[in-house]
């Protein structure tokens, strides 16, 4: 049971006017790479077929573990020279951005490139390159002449978004948003805000992660007792299962093309969904431990901005990372908003791909978007014995669920230092 007062929409009615088309923001393209698919079609297929992308993995100092590894073609959209001097995070970003633009039908040669913005969320950046340089330096008596002159541009925080602008020739604004594991949602929110401000015409937004290439993140989770262990790598990520024991670290990325509805209609674009609500807040409590009341408030505020009541939501994609306490606390927050509502379905995507950190929110939203068309809710897999404290009424487990309608999806994404985010998308209806 939650220890705080549940959200009562009857006490807080939403009465905002509808936005005009110049303020409504829609998704017109999706590009991604994940541990179990490098296109949205393949990703979705594997989610519905219950195919995990987690595999055995070994990294120096930590040894054998599990990870979600991406297998996209880095040379599909990037020249060898830029790939060689760049970073894994940059490579993922370039691939996803190019795929998103292709999916949207936007030809950069036919738009004002100065009006294209790139806003990407990251959990952290630079650790991979620094760890690698220190390791190589140790082989040469710590002689700094062996330190790469590419190190500085590789490790600056804006690197992933910056690599997109260099590779794709985009002179518009770019930066990354450091928002821990809420970063994917934060990238979407930033792009939406910049479009509404009229700063850009097209926004490339989302989140990326190269986390599996730094031993530090594995070592830290292991020291914390939060690194998943299981004889079968494909079953290591098991949110809501009674025997879950930690996080599977993964890499990946998902980037969206966002435009205003007015612009998308003017060019005859295919509209995938409309971003109708969002919110971010802070627990202001602890470095690591989440706060369900603040999570509840985040979802509530996102609903208010979307001019929706809880009963309007069809799917909640949970953040649940497979840690014993974190999963329970998110379930408490969801109960506080939705109670025992039988009409909302709940799922989790990390059970397939592990925790893609800065990419998590964006990737997990992408995996649910096809539900608007096929009206199928992908399940949470690897739940052999449901933890009673995670027994939400609408939780979809192990098998896909065909439903009557999917009009609204709420995507949760939370992170360390108490950063919370929720993004709400709606099936476009004109």
407 within 8 A of 391, measured Cβ to Cβ: no
174, 213, 230, 319: which is the annotated catalytic residue? Answer: 319
What is residue 21's predicted lDDT score, i.e. its pLDDT? Answer: 83
Among the listed residues 86, 88, 113, 83, the one whose alpha carbon sits nearest the alpha carbon of residue 101:
113
d(CA 39, CA 99): 8
Give the contacts of 110 (CB within 8 A, at least 6 positions apart). Answer: none
Active site residue 213: no
Query: Do 25-266 and 278-426 share a fold?
Result: yes
Find, among 136, 156, 24, the residue nearest to 90 by Cα.
Answer: 156
CATH superfamily, domain at 278-426: Thiolase/Chalcone synthase (3.40.47.10)
Q: Which CATH superfamily, name and number, covers 25-266?
A: Thiolase/Chalcone synthase (3.40.47.10)
Pick from 53, 131, 81: nearest CA to 94: 81
Please pick, among 70, 96, 181, 298, the residue that the annotation labels catalytic.
Answer: 181
Element holding 345 (H helix, E strand): strand 345-348
Distance CA 254, CA 96 (A): 6
Residue 355 is a catalytic residue? yes
What is the C-alpha separation between 257 and 249, in angstroms, rounded? 26
Please list the helix, strand and coil fractions of the chain in percent, rounded to the nearest 5, in that order.
40, 25, 40
Residue 18: per-residue pLDDT? 63
First to last CA, the chain: 40
Give the pair of three-digit tokens for residue 141. Answer: 């008596």
Write down the pLDDT at residue 20: 81
Determine the Cα–Cα distance for residues 84 and 345; give it in Å rounded to an integer. Answer: 44
Say what the pLDDT of residue 13 is: 41
User: Where along the chain do its domains lie?
Assistant: 25-266, 278-426
Residue 181 designated active-site: yes
What pLDDT shows up at residue 17? Answer: 53
Q: Which of the following is catalytic: 77, 230, 355, 378?
A: 355
Mean pLDDT by 10 residues, the chain (430 residues): 45 53 94 98 98 98 97 97 96 98 97 98 95 93 92 96 98 97 98 98 98 97 96 98 98 98 97 98 92 96 97 98 96 95 95 98 98 98 98 97 98 96 95
What pLDDT score was predicted for residue 4? 46
Name the nearest CA neighbour of 187 among 421, 426, 29.
421
Distance of CA 250 to the CA centre of its chain: 12
SS3 166: helix
SS3 sequence of 7-47:
CCHHHCCCCCCCCCCCCCEEEEEEEEEECCECCHHHHHHHH
């Amino acid at each position: 049971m939650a220890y705080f007062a549940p959200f009562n929409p009857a006490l807080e009615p939403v009465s905002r006017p509808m936005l005009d088309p110049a303020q409504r923001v829609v998704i017109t393209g999706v590009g991604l790479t994940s541990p179990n698919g490098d296109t949205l079609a393949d990703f979705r297929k594997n989610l519905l077929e219950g195919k995990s992308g987690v595999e055995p993995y070994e990294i120096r100092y930590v040894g054998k573990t599990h990870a979600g590894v991406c297998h996209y073609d880095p040379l599909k959209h990037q020249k060898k020279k830029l790939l060689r001097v760049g970073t894994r995070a940059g490579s993922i970003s370039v691939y996803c951005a190019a795929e998103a633009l292709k999916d949207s039908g936007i030809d950069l040669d036919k738009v004002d490139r100065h009006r294209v913005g790139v806003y990407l969320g990251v959990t952290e950046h630079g650790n991979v390159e620094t760890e690698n340089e220190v390791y190589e330096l140790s082989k040469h008596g710590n002689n700094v002449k062996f330190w790469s002159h590419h190190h500085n541009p590789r490790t600056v925080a804006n690197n992933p978004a910056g690599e997109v602008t260099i590779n794709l020739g985009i002179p518009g604004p770019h930066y990354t948003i450091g928002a821990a594991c809420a970063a994917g949602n934060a990238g979407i929110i930033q792009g939406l805000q910049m479009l509404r401000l009229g700063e850009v015409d097209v926004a490339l937004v989302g989140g990326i992660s190269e986390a599996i290439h730094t031993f530090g993140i594995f070592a830290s989770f292991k020291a914390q007792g939060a690194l998943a262990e299981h004889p079968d790598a494909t079953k290591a990520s098991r949110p809501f299962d009674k025997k879950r024991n930690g996080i599977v670290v993964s890499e990946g990325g998902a980037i969206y093309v966002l435009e205003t509805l007015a612009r998308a209609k003017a060019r005859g674009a295919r509209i995938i969904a409309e971003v109708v609500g969002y919110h971010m807040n802070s627990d202001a409590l602890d470095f690591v431990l989440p706060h369900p009341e603040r999570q509840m408030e985040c979802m509530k505020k996102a609903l208010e901005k979307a001019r929706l009541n809880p009963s309007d939501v069809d799917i909640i994609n949970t953040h649940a990372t497979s840690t014993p306490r974190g999963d329970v606390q998110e379930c408490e927050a969801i109960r506080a908003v939705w109670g025992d509502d039988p009409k909302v379905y709940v799922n989790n995507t990390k059970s397939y791909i592990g925790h893609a950190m800065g990419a998590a929110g964006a990737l997990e939203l992408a995996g649910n978007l096809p539900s608007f068309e096929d009206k199928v809710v992908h399940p949470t897999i690897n739940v052999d014995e449901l933890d009673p404290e995670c027994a939400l009424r609408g939780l979809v487990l192990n098998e896909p669920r065909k439903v009557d309608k999917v009009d609204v999806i709420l995507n949760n994404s939370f992170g360390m230092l108490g950063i919370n985010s929720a993004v709400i998308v709606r099936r476009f209806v004109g």
